[in-house]
Chain A
Amino acid sequence: GQNIDQPTEMTATEGAIVQINCTYQTSGFNGLFWYQQHAGEAPTFLSYNVLDGLEEKGRFSSFLSRSKGYSYLLLKELQMKDSASYLCAVGNQGGKLIFGQGTELSVKP
């Protein structure tokens, strides 16, 4: 079966660092994606991992361990505008993109 788990909500302080975890079990694996989504809008692509290790892109980094079925998204120097839903998604062998339930991040002053 397919299962993607991430925390429902998190709260962090402006300027801090936050790590959002994601564990997955899917039929086949064709890469792991992280998206940011504001309510009522389309998801915005943040990162893509297909090999184990850390991918860094500015304030955002994403890590993948395929053997553990685990990924995390790291957000540094948090800003108020980072308050949003963060979606972990896995591409499966059929080319479909399957999403986790999303983590609602609230950044407070």
Chain B
Amino acid sequence: GAVVSQHPSWVICKSGTSVKIECRSLDFQATTMFWYRQFPKQSLMLMATSNEGSKATYEQGVEKDKFLINHASLTLSTLTVTSAHPEDSSFYICSAAVLSGYTFGSGTRLTVV
């Protein structure tokens, strides 16, 4: 139980375009979803916390206008990377708190060319 489905698994986009990443909780309701970014050989850095029905809260240094988060329902949270640039190329992964701890999506490898 407590599965988060994340799509797409990987995406390649042109510089200047926007990319949307979706995370769906399949068998539970996620009122809160955490979004992380991971650069090669580095750890997971928390970007923001999305809350169903309200605005996301962003960690210091994360541009809220560049990384748009929407959590319109209890089972879906999305992260849109707007006007993507090569430096945004990274592994993005979502996570939800559940009774047994935290469950993670499978991650999205974004490459901006």
Q: Which residues of A line the B interface, CB within 8 A? A: 31, 33, 40-43, 45, 48, 87, 94-102, 104
Contact = CB atoms under 8 A, between A and B. Distances in A.
Nearest to A104: B41
A42 B49 contact: no
Main secondary structure of the interface of B (DSSP, over half): strand
Nearest to B97: A95
Interface residues of B, number: 21
23 contacts: A40-B107, A41-B106, A41-B107, A42-B104, A45-B101, A48-B101, A87-B43, A87-B44, A94-B49, A95-B32, A96-B34, A96-B49, A97-B34, A97-B95, A99-B36, A99-B43, A99-B44, A99-B46, A100-B43, A101-B42, A101-B43, A102-B42, A104-B41
A76 B46 CA distance: 31
A104 B40 CA distance: 12
B93 A42 contact: yes
Contact of B101 (A33, A41, A87, A101): A33
Nearest to B45: A99
Interface string B79-113: 00000000000010101010001101111010000
Contacts of B44: 43, 87, 99
B101 A42 contact: no
Main secondary structure of the interface of A (DSSP, over half): loop
B96 to A, nearest CB: 10
Contacts of B49: 94, 96
